Amino acid sequence: MSLDKVLAKIDADLDQSVNRLLDLLRIPSISTDPAYKSDCARAADWLVEDLKTLGFDASSRPTPGHPMVVAHGGTGERHLLFYGHYDVQPVDPLDLWDRDPFDPEVQDTAKGRVIRGRGSADDKGQLMTFIEACRAWKAVHGSLPGKLTIFLEGEEESGSPSLIPFMQDNAAELKADIALICDTGMFEDTTPAIVTMLRGLLGEEITVYGPDKDLHSGMYGGAAINPIRVLTKILGNLHDETGRVTVPHFYDGVQELPDAIRAQWQALAFDHAKFLGDVGLSVPAGEQDRTPLEMLWSRPTAEINGIWGGYTGQGFKTVLPAEAHAKISFRLVAGQDPDVLRGHFRAWVQEQLPADCRVEFHGHGNGPAGVMSVEAPAFDAARAALGEEWGKPAAFVGCGGSIPIAGYFKTYLDMDAMLIGFGRDDDQIHSPNEKYDLECFQKGIRSWARVLAKLV
Amino acid sequence: MSLDKVLAKIDADLDQSVNRLLDLLRIPSISTDPAYKSDCARAADWLVEDLKTLGFDASSRPTPGHPMVVAHGGTGERHLLFYGHYDVQPVDPLDLWDRDPFDPEVQDTAKGRVIRGRGSADDKGQLMTFIEACRAWKAVHGSLPGKLTIFLEGEEESGSPSLIPFMQDNAAELKADIALICDTGMFEDTTPAIVTMLRGLLGEEITVYGPDKDLHSGMYGGAAINPIRVLTKILGNLHDETGRVTVPHFYDGVQELPDAIRAQWQALAFDHAKFLGDVGLSVPAGEQDRTPLEMLWSRPTAEINGIWGGYTGQGFKTVLPAEAHAKISFRLVAGQDPDVLRGHFRAWVQEQLPADCRVEFHGHGNGPAGVMSVEAPAFDAARAALGEEWGKPAAFVGCGGSIPIAGYFKTYLDMDAMLIGFGRDDDQIHSPNEKYDLECFQKGIRSWARVLAKLV
């Protein structure tokens, strides 16, 4: 059977595949830092050249930021689009890295062989699993596995400012039957996962102003309003005693989990004691009438991501400050409109403000939640393919984080997305000493070959 | 009359007096920040050298922190001790200063000439009023105005850790008939004041710890406890809806104002609308059943002086931080024991802590409230002298700030203290653009000459 030949070719050529990935990892394509602009362009060019060797019609397409890589190839009835991103996170604090983040290598560890370096898991290693699957397929069959468009972004780690305009400008070219996205993880070490539920995000920054200058708390304390007192009073009300968010209308439109999904999640037997224990905690802190997986995947949250005001240095200063600040984010689920919620949140803050204070709001990014239509046949096909590779059925899971690209494909290209990835919880993405397990890389390539065999 | 000659000399030499103060203001003696340790020593040395030129036997005396300046001089029946402090507050936020805080100058403003710079009012300008009065007296009389000890501290803005041990170790040397302290203000622009009631201070820093590392709020948000959420919840409870502090036992032992004092304060016709209006406020924010003067002078308070945690930079980062911090101070009145209250506060925080969090406390300085015995004849003499200089009788007032030294003189040296100062409400002490009115400096020097003439 020809799939077996493809899988055998993948295994036989693994060293070359790793070497190609190491080449790509050596390019420090940090998108958020303008100092690395030419490196981002270099990474895009590297991918274009590599895709051309597979017969793709590939090009690096300029944007106001970093270029997009777009490649078309193959033929077939069903048109698949693959999305990944070639940019990486900054590397600071650099002194916590055991080696140069951009001098990657394969290392033996107690838990197996790993590819160590910035971007190894997020997302260069993951995007190369798909390209290497295409390469092996081409080597065996002489052609690509169906009609493919490969779409690689260089601004994912810096807010994707060029993405929506580019998708709008090139909608006809990018529109396919389904999008495949490789930027997520396994459910746990040996259980593959397809993400079918993504939380959205709403970011807000608030500044509470009181007196028109910093005051001495001895001279004014007791008579003058303190903006930190006001801010803590307001934010201290953000959750009630049961962990529920108190902003009016916050839960409007939020649906209960369908019974089928609830049953499947129960079957996953999520070990929340280990999940929390790994970060020094033991008690799930969200809504007390929800399971930990619901807290993480299917329930909206409010978090204070930063707070500051007054004197924060060494020692003590009895200041009564003129202003106090906080950054707050909401993870959203299906049924919640970020723009509407922003209004509810602002009104809720405003209502709690004493007469002598005023508040300024600064909106940060927002994106709606995404829920995939798992009834589409591609999901069952992919689930079966992943199960064959890993020896365990793939889990349909939620993702607490926000991957807005899935929503954008739906909104701007009317295209469903399937998120399949092979990252593990200990990959240290966004952190020092990022790695990607060699097993995940190899079995990831094999997984894509199996998925493609079922989809084309 | 020789007092007239002294006053004339003060007026004639004003420019030199100002220049000496500017020299002292150029030394950035920020006591709370270890980076300025040598500058604190330099300020002490500067004062020692200056006092020596007046014939004082002056020295800079080492402590585990910053040095004390002690100077003895003159002869006479009554031994007067003068106290001031040469250290200053930190200067942040630096960008709100119109000029370098340590490059002082005399400026013309709509309200008259001012000496601008950190420490101009608190307390270098004030302490120099006494020294300049001595200088003019010496120039006219050839000797100092009586038997004097000058005692200048360098840790007043950082909790005075060395003060009590130093007073205990040097009690015989420092004990005098009465202490004069120049670190307070006028009642209003043209009414001089003698402070007879001082609030105490208790400083606490708390750190709430949650997860053992910073987490991604997408991966963990909803299930992992957020220390900022815990901190705002706790501190949001610090005051109830009527402005009352909620810490149990906080008001234990607090006395109602005696009728005589209440009548005198009512006669002062304090314009709280102007007091608050000057800093952009209108509504007294303390206990709603108290007058503004009670809130400021005779009622205890709780203020959050600083708060910080999570991401506080530009843009947004969806971090769920490992820890959150706050600095809190309490202003205390007679009947409140700072050590006992510290225990009540810590217990109150601890009780509100969820299972997965822990808290660390770091105590900053503390000092009890002070109430002076205004029956002593020196008070009447000083009141008369101030009335002659300013053309209005001096008010016996309370002080919202904490000047624990007055209590220490009583406790450790059995010596009454008289607090006379010439600051104005708009001096912006502890804030950017601190100033001291040239009029206050000049008339302050003249006031001390008049007070000394009556006391020696």
Q: What is the pLDDT of residues B165-185, one digit of tens each?
A: 999 999 999 999 999 999 999
Q: How confident is the model at residue B128 (pLDDT cuts 50, 70, 90)?
A: very high
Q: What is the DSSP string of A151-164?
A: EEES-GGGT-TTHH
* CA pair distance B248, B253, nearest whole angstrom: 12
Name the residue facing A356 among B89, B283, B325 (closest C-beta). B283
d(CA A339, CA B446): 65
Q: Which chain B residues are closer than 8 Å to A218 by Cβ?
A: 199, 201, 331, 399-402
**Interchain proximity A219–B425, CB inside 8 Å:** yes
Q: Is the dihedral of CA A207, A210, A214, A216 positive or negative?
A: negative
Other CB atoms within 10 A of residue B389 CB: 20
Report the 10 Å Cβ neighbour count for A49: 11
Supply the DSSP symbol for B96.
G
Chain A CB contacts of B402 under 8 Å are 218, 318
User: In angstroms, what CA-CA distances link A412 with A67, A85, A175, B59?
Assistant: 19, 19, 9, 78
Pick the most confident of A212-216, A268-272, B86-90, B378-382: B86-90
A224 part of contact set with chain B, CB < 8 Å = yes
Distance separating alpha carbons of residues B282 and B106, to the nearest angstrom: 32
For residue B16, give how far its alpha carbon lies from the nearest alpha carbon of chain A (Å). 31
DSSP 8-state symbol, B456 = -
Q: What is the arithmetic mean of pLDDT over A419-438?
A: 93
**Measured distance CA(A389)–CA(A441) in Å, rounded:** 13
What is the chain A residue with the closest CA to B323?
Answer: A306
User: Is pLDDT at B5 greater than 70 in this prediction?
Assistant: yes
Put simply, the chain A residues between 430 and 449 with a CB less than 8 A from any chain B CB are: 430
- Cross-chain Cβ contact A318/B325 below 8 Å: no
Residue B142 DSSP code = S
Q: Which CATH number fits domain B200-253+300-366: 3.40.50.620, 3.30.70.360, 3.40.50.720, 3.40.980.10?
A: 3.30.70.360
For residues B418 and B107, is the Cβ–Cβ distance under 8 A? no
Least confident residue range of A53-67, A210-224, B99-113, B127-141? A210-224
How is chain A split into domains, by residue range?
2-198+369-455, 200-254+300-367
- The verdict on a CB contact (< 8 Å) between B217 and A280 is no
**Does B402 have pLDDT greater than 80?**
no
Sign of the CA dihedral A180, A186, A187, A191? Answer: positive
Tell me which residue of B121, B134, B123 sits closest to B156, measured CA to CA: B123
Nearest to B430 among A233, A319, A399 (CB): A319
Which amino acid belongs to residue A226? N
Task: For chain B, say whether A275 makes contact (Cβ under 8 Å).
Answer: yes
Rounded mean pLDDT of B395-406?
Answer: 84
Per-residue pLDDT for B322 more than 70? yes
Residues 6+ apart with CB under 8 A from A137: A6, A143, A144, A145, A449, A452
The alpha carbon of residue A400 is apart from the nearest alpha carbon of chain B, in Å, by 5
CA distance A248 to chain B (A): 18
Task: Say whether pLDDT at A138 is over 90.
Answer: yes
Residue numbers in A near B366 (CB within 8 A) = none
Output the pLDDT for position B224: 95
| CA A355 – CA B366 distance, rounded (Å) | 33
Q: What chain A residue is nearest to B243 in terms of C-alpha separation?
A: A222
Q: Is B98 on the interface with A (CB under 8 A)?
A: no
pLDDT, chain B, mean: 94
- Could you tell me the strand order of the sheet in which A435-437 lies? A105-109, A112-116, A435-437
Query: For B356-437, where are the alpha helices, taking DSSP H only?
Result: 377-390, 405-413
Q: Which residues pair with A303 in a beta bridge?
A: A329
Task: Give the mean pLDDT of B403-429.
Answer: 91
Side-by-side strand order, sheet with B112-116 = B105-109, B112-116, B435-437
Q: For residue B220, what is the nearest residue in chain A, using CA coordinates?
A: A296
Query: Could you please report the per-residue DSSP string of A347-382?
Result: HHHHHT--TT-EEEEEEEEEE--EE--TTSHHHHHH
With a CB-CB cutoff of 8 Å, which residues 232-261 of chain B face chain A? 232-239
B90 lies within 8 A of chain A by CB: yes
Residue from A195, A239, A281 to probe the interface with B (highest B Cβ count within 10 Å):
A281
Q: Which two tokens stand for residue A309?
A: 């005001």
pLDDT for B119 equals 98
Q: Whole-angstrom Cα distance, residue B357 to residue B343?
A: 19
Partner A, chain B 11-70, Cβ-Cβ below 8 Å:
32-34
Question: For the stretch B309-344, what's the b/e string if a residue is b when 16 or more beta carbons lie within 10 angstroms of its beta carbon?
Answer: bbbbeeebbbbbbbbbbbbbbbbbbbebbbeebbee
Pick from B10, B214, B104, B55: which is nearest to B435 by CA? B104
> How large is the average pLDDT for residues B288-317?
92
Residue B71 to residues A99, B48, B177: CA-CA distances in angstroms? Answer: 60, 8, 16
In this complex, the residue of A232, A319, A355 whose CB is nearest that of residue B232 is A232
Which positions ≥6 away from A131 have C-beta within 8 Å?
Answer: A47, A50, A51, A54, A150
- The predicted-structure confidence for B255-284, as pLDDT tens digits, reads as follows 998 887 888 888 888 999 999 999 999 999
Of A203, A305, A430, the CB nearest to B310: A305
Percent of chain A whose predicted confidence (pLDDT) is above 90: 81
Kindly report the CATH number that applies to the domain delimited by A200-254+300-367.
3.30.70.360
pLDDT higher for B41 or B217?
A: B41
pLDDT digits (tens, 9 = 90+) for A82-129: 999 999 998 988 888 999 999 999 999 999 999 999 999 999 999 999
* B424 lies within 8 A of chain A by CB: no
Kindly state the DSSP code that residue B34 receives in the 8-state scheme: G
Whether A318 and B430 lie within 8 Å, measured CB to CB? yes
Which region, left, alpha or beta, applies to residue A173 given φ > 0 means left and ψ of -120 to 50 means alpha? alpha
Q: What is the mean pLDDT of residues B299-327?
A: 93
| A399 vs B450: which has the higher pLDDT | B450
Least confident among A51-55, A93-97, A233-237: A93-97
State how beta strands B200-209 and B178-181 pair. Answer: unpaired
pLDDT at B1: 58
Task: Please list, in sequence order, all residues whose beta carbon lies within 8 angstroms of the beta carbon of residue B309, skipping any fewer than 6 positions away.
Answer: A304, A306, A307, A308, B227, B228, B231, B321, B323, B324, B325
Tens digit of each residue's pLDDT (9 = 90 or more) over A353-370: 999 999 999 998 788 888
B2-198+369-455: CATH number = 3.40.630.10
Looking at CA atoms only, how far is residue A378 from chain B in angstroms?
Answer: 26
Pick the residue of A187, A209, A232 with the most B CBs within 10 A to test the interface with B by mutation.
A232
Report residue A431's pLDDT band, with 50, 70 and 90 as the boundaries: confident
pLDDT for residue B314: 83
A 360-389 residues inside an 8 A Cβ radius of B? 364-365
Torsion of CA A309, A315, A320, A321, to 10 degrees: -30
Contact criterion met (CB < 8 Å) for B295 and A222: yes
The predicted structure's pLDDT at residue A403: 82
Indicate yes or no: CB of B217 within 8 angstroms of CB of A305.
yes
The structure tokens 């397809």 sit at: A194
Report chain B residues whose CB lies below 8 A from the CB of A199.
218
How far apart CA A454 and CA A451 sit, in angstroms, is 5
Beta bridge partners of A49: none
Whether the Cβ atoms of residue B370 and residue B197 lie closer than 8 Å to each other:
yes
Residue A371 pLDDT more than 90?
no
C-beta atoms of B90 and A317 within 8 A = yes
- Give the pLDDT score at A28: 98
> Three-class SS of residue B194?
strand
Judged by a CB distance cut-off of 8 A, whether residue A210 touches chain B is yes
